[in-house]
A and B are shown apart, each in its own frame.
Chain A
Amino acid sequence: MNILGISAFYHDSAAALIRDGKIIAAAQEERFSRKKHDERFPFHAVRYCLHEGKIGPDDLDAVAFYDKPIQKFERLLQTYFATAPRGLKSFMMAMPIWIREKLWIPLEIENSLEQCGVKPERELYFPEHHESHAASAFYPSPYQTSAILTVDGVGEWATSTLGHGQGHDLKIISDLHFPHSLGLLYSAFTYFTGFKVNSGEYKLMGLAPYGEPRYVKQIYDHLISVREDGSFKLNMEYFNYMAGLTMTNDKFGELFGGPARKSETDIGQREMDLARSIQVVTEEIVLKMARHLHKITGEKNLCMAGGVALNCVANGRLLREGPFENVWIQPAAGDAGGALGAALTVWYHVKGNPRQANGVKDSMQGSYLGPNFDDEVEAFLKAKGYPAKKLAGGEWATTIAKVMAEENVVGLVQGRMEFGPRALGGRSIVGDPRSEKMQSVMNLKIKYRESFRPFAPSCCRDKVSEYFEHDRESPYMLLVAPVRKDLWTNLTDEQKRIMKDPDLCKRVNVARSTLPAITHVDYSARIQTVERDVNQKYYDLIKAFGDLTGVYCIINTSFNVRGEPIVCTPEDAYRCFMRTEMDYLVLGDFLLSKKDQPEWADKVDWRKDYVLD
């Protein structure tokens, strides 16, 4: 039985295809449309999934959409009833889109299936938003039974849910309702500190280690009322997201000593302290929720999804201090993953098909669920006339490792594209973590940004505890753990002085460990562990780098420039390679050196192609 899952119309639309419960393909629309966080109906992603599954006109059995649009619409109307006569602007912005698109989802699905050559008369399902998140967390997890926690901005009404998965059965036990939302609280601080809502949350988390938790008491005293079981209510007198176009109001500004920071202006101590404070509050609430969930389910395993589950600092703390022995987080924890969850809900929960987890490995296949172009690279290079060297067998890993060890920056496109927001070695830019200059080179010459966040390390699974206070899997870069103390360096007086510099980019460039490019100012790192049976080529590359240098870790950052979606095709990759100061590009089995390439002339100012995130 083939089931297509779709998520759309909020942010990060996506499609996923499962066959008899096995995940065949999943991808986000942004990778094909080249519009970051593309929220439009995921026509290209649907098209890709059907192609990957070789779905003929009669082969698709069901389509599952990741939420209940009418319930969402009802919540919207109820919100206006609760806030009128305020809310006109928001109403005028929302209504035309609802009337034009969001109320006609079955028609959109039929149209796109028809265009893909598939007969559109399929069973249509609409699981609830958080049920889709919960399903995306539990069904692919390695656990036969598990507690399930979902936390995000908002679905229909729910903003967090506690659930229990047993075999093929998934039950949502209880939930918190809009407008009381941990995701929206975090987004309110994201907005107030001058970052973009729905994409800047990651930056806020990265900013937190620079600050002090000075505002925690104020947050608890004025903004949120939390119970011991992790449930909470927000004081809506301080927020504007119900009726307005901003997340916070003037009263919120008064509480924190002035208006919100304007985007792209200097980040001050207040913003750093706010970042740290909301991070602390978020972690405490997630921990309380987890303890309560542990108590009511008695499970030793926890599965998580929803946008807040991408907060890898909170996840790391949950793993270290929480009550669960094992924690598994869906790599596409945001709304994109809802497409997968919706399809899995139909197969397991609605159709009642049996499920047997093996207790060790999840069924996400490393999240490498997108298109693979390795077999077409040669034809592409020939057609375009781009000089490249074919690397055969073991030479592939050793040659790339060698150029990396010479402080070159390498773009890596091999195997299937990742599903979810992180690049995991399929569409990555990689480099030498020992290099002191790599951090600023990658930031300024490749990503075209100045970042106060360090890069993340990819590390051989069997070597991870040699570098980090961490001895488990973290295949999806969703856990943060401390760098081992014996790798820390003693800071010189000059370095200590720089660590107080108001320019955060200078601070992050201070070498705090023997792996400076991946060590944050609080000596933490966002780890990806790589296993050979999941991504053989990527593992071999890291191992070859380790055999050469003694360090079985490399820098891994997403293959894109600021504001651009991660590259999908070799064509996207070559364009990004030539527009930036990357030194080498790997396309499947081929290595391209920048020096050998024909001159690249951009006719347009390509930086204007992408809206800064």
Chain B
Amino acid sequence: MNTWPWKALGPALPERKPMPMRVKATIQAVVMGLVGFAVYKIWGHLIGPAIVWSLALLVLIGGWLVPSIFHGFEKFGAKLAFWVASGLTWGLLVPFFYITFTFGRLVLVVRGLDPMDRAFPDAGRDTFWTPRPPVPSMDQYRKQH
């Protein structure tokens, strides 16, 4: 029973039907097969591609015949994707943080600037209120900055 109308308003959230396991397994196996083939073509080694093709075969068999194997691969894949994404995030953002902000801070220190106005107790100032200039035009309200 749907008692509360606000929940029923408008079209329901688009329900995403999960892709059938067999289709998913076939696509994944084909992609892995192609990756193995590309590696073989570019570098000419066979061991690496052979491992990838074996895994592709396992994914295919799992998807069509032994779901537990396929689910195991899926879980492993999700974890791998998470670690790769986290690694990339940290790998990119950490150097960015130290290079950009530390350098920026140095520039501020050398120029004697503090955007945070942290001087304390700042006895020379009568007030800390900052007058707010009038909004130049109503277009300003359309902007995110």
Residues of A in contact with B (beta carbons under 8 Å apart): 44, 47-48, 50-52, 68-71, 74, 78-85, 87-88, 91-92, 95-96, 105-106, 115-118, 123-127, 161-162, 171-180, 225, 227, 229, 231-237, 242, 345-346, 350, 371, 373, 376, 379-380, 383, 569-571
Q: B102 touches which one: A51, A84, A227 (CB < 8 A)? A: A84
Contact B129 A175 (CB under 8 A): yes
Contact assessment for A232 and B9 in the assembled complex, using a CB-CB cutoff below 8 Å: no
Q: Is the CB of A174 within 8 A of B105?
A: no
Q: Which of B16-24, B28-36, B55-63, B111-119 contacts A (4 or more CB under 8 A)?
A: B111-119
- CB-based contact A51/B6 at 8 Å: yes
In the assembled complex, the Cα of A327 lies from the Cα of B94 at a distance in Å of 49
Any chain A CB within 8 A of the CB of B136?
A: no
Q: For residue B102, which residues in chain A have a CB less than 8 angstroms away from its CB? A: 84-85
Q: Are A69 and B144 in contact (CB under 8 A)?
A: yes
Contact present for B97 and A80 (CB under 8 Å): yes
Inter-chain pairs besides A82-B105, A371-B4, 20 sampled, C-beta below 8 Å: A81-B108, A81-B115, A83-B101, A84-B97, A92-B94, A96-B89, A116-B9, A116-B10, A162-B129, A180-B117, A225-B121, A227-B128, A233-B121, A236-B118, A371-B6, A376-B5, A379-B1, A380-B1, A380-B3, A570-B3
Q: Would you call A80 and B6 a contact (CB within 8 A)? A: no
CB neighbours (8 Å) of B94 from chain A are 88, 92
Interchain CB contact (< 8 A) of B3 among A81, A92, A571: A571
Cα–Cα distance between A419 and B38 once the two chains are bound (Å): 60
Contact indicator B121/A350 (Cβ below 8 Å): no
A84 pairs with B122, CB closer than 8 A: no
A231 touches B128 (CB 8 A): yes
> B119-145: which have CB < 8 Å to A?
119-123, 125-132, 134, 138, 141-145
**Most A C-beta atoms less than 10 A away, residue of B101, B102, B108, B131:** B101
Q: State the CA gap A106–B145 with chains docked (Å).
A: 13
Whether A179 contacts B116 by the Cβ 8 Å rule is: yes
Smallest CB-CB separation from A96: which chain B residue?
Answer: B89
Are A569 and B4 in touch, CB under 8 angstroms?
Answer: yes
Choice from B90, B93, B108 contacting A82 with Cβ under 8 Å: B108
In the bound complex, what is the Cα–Cα distance between A394 and B119 (angstroms)? 65
What residues of B have a CB within 8 angstroms of the CB of A52 in the complex? 6
- Contact A84/B101 with A79-B116, A225-B120, A380-B3 known, Cβ cut-off 8 Å: yes
Q: Which residues of A contact B117 (CB under 8 A)?
A: 177, 180, 233
Report yes or no: A175 in contact with B141, Cβ–Cβ below 8 A: no
Closest residue of chain B to A95 (Cβ to Cβ) is: B93
Q: How far is the CA of A87 from the CA of B100 in the complex (A)?
A: 13
B129→A235 contact, CB < 8 A: no
- With a cutoff of 8 Å between Cβ atoms, the chain B residues found around residue A124 in the complex are 142
Give the distance in Å from the alpha carbon of A162 to the alpha carbon of B132 in the complex.
10
Q: Considering only CB atoms and an 8 Å cut-off, how many residues of chain B contact the other chain?
A: 47
Judge whether B97 and A78 touch: CB under 8 Å: no
Whole-angstrom CA separation of A87 from B11 in the bound complex: 44
Does A51 contact B144, Cβ atoms closer than 8 Å?
no
Q: How far is the CA of A231 from the CA of B104 in the complex (A)?
A: 29
A–B Cβ pairs within 8 angstroms, 11 of them: A50-B10, A68-B143, A80-B101, A117-B9, A118-B10, A125-B142, A174-B132, A176-B129, A227-B126, A231-B127, A571-B4
Q: Is the interface of B mostly helix, strand, loop or mixed?
A: loop
> Most chain-A CB neighbours within 10 Å: which of B1, B3, B14, B123?
B3
Specify which chain A residues have a CB less than 8 angstroms from the CB of B142 in the assembled complex.
Answer: 123-126
Contact residues in B for A68 (Cβ distance below 8 Å) = 143-145
List the A residue with the shortest CB-CB distance to B89.
A96
B42 at the interface (CB under 8 A from A): no
CA distance A116 to B13 in the complex (A): 9
* CA gap between A96 and B125 in the complex, in Å: 39
B43, CB-defined interface residue at 8 Å: no
Cα–Cα, bound, A426→B2 (Å): 22
In the bound complex, residues from chain A placing their C-beta under 8 Å from that of B119 are 233
Do A92 and B93 have beta carbons less than 8 Å apart?
Answer: yes
Residues of A within 8 A of B9 (CB): 47, 50-51, 116-117
Minimum Cβ distance to chain B for residue A6 (Å): 13
Q: How far is the CA of A127 from the CA of B139 in the complex (A)?
A: 11
**Is B120 a contact partner of A233 (Cβ separation < 8 A)?**
yes
Decide if B121 touches A235 in the complex (CB within 8 Å).
yes
Assembly CA distance A492 to B99 (angstroms): 68
- CB closest residue in chain A, given B125: A227
Q: Which of B114, B120, B123, B129 has the most CB of A within 10 A?
A: B129
Query: What residues of A have a CB within 8 angstroms of the CB of B7 in the complex?
Result: 47
Task: Among A69, A92, A172, A233, find the residue whose CB has the most chain B CB atoms closer than 10 A.
Answer: A233
- The residue that B131 contacts in the complex, of A173, A346, A379, with Cβ under 8 A, is A173
Nearest chain B CB to A34 CB, angstrom units: 13
A227 to B123, CA, bound (A): 10
Chain B positions within 8 Å of A80 at CB level: 97, 101
- Asked if A82 and B120 sit within 8 Å, CB to CB, the answer is no
Q: Are B104 and A81 in contact (CB under 8 A)?
A: yes
CB neighbours (8 Å) of A91 from chain B are 93, 97, 101
Contact of A229 among B1, B101, B127, B143 (CB under 8 A): B127
Give chain B residues whose Cβ lies under 8 Å from the Cβ of A569. Answer: 3-4
With both chains docked as a complex, state the minimum distance between the C-beta of A286 and any C-beta of chain B, in angstroms: 15
Centre residue among B5, B7, B145 by max chain A CB count within 10 A: B145
Q: Are B128 and A232 in contact (CB under 8 A)?
A: yes
Interchain CA distance A232-B116 in the complex, whole Å: 14
Kindly state the separation between the CA atoms of A125 and B142 in the bound complex, as whole angstroms: 5
Question: In this complex, what residue of B is CB-closest to A232?
Answer: B128
In the complex, the answer to whether A174 meets B10 with C-beta atoms within 8 Å is: no
Give the Cβ gap from A68 to chain B, nearest Cβ, in Å.
Answer: 6
Q: With A48-B6, A383-B3 in contact, do A233 and B101 touch (Cβ < 8 Å)?
A: no
Q: CB distance A117 to B105 under 8 Å?
A: no
Given contacts A74-B145, A82-B116, contact A177 B130 (CB under 8 A): yes
Closest B residue to A229 using CB positions = B127
Contacts of A125 in B (CB 8 A): 141-142
- Is there an interface contact between B145 and A82, defined as CB atoms closer than 8 Å? no
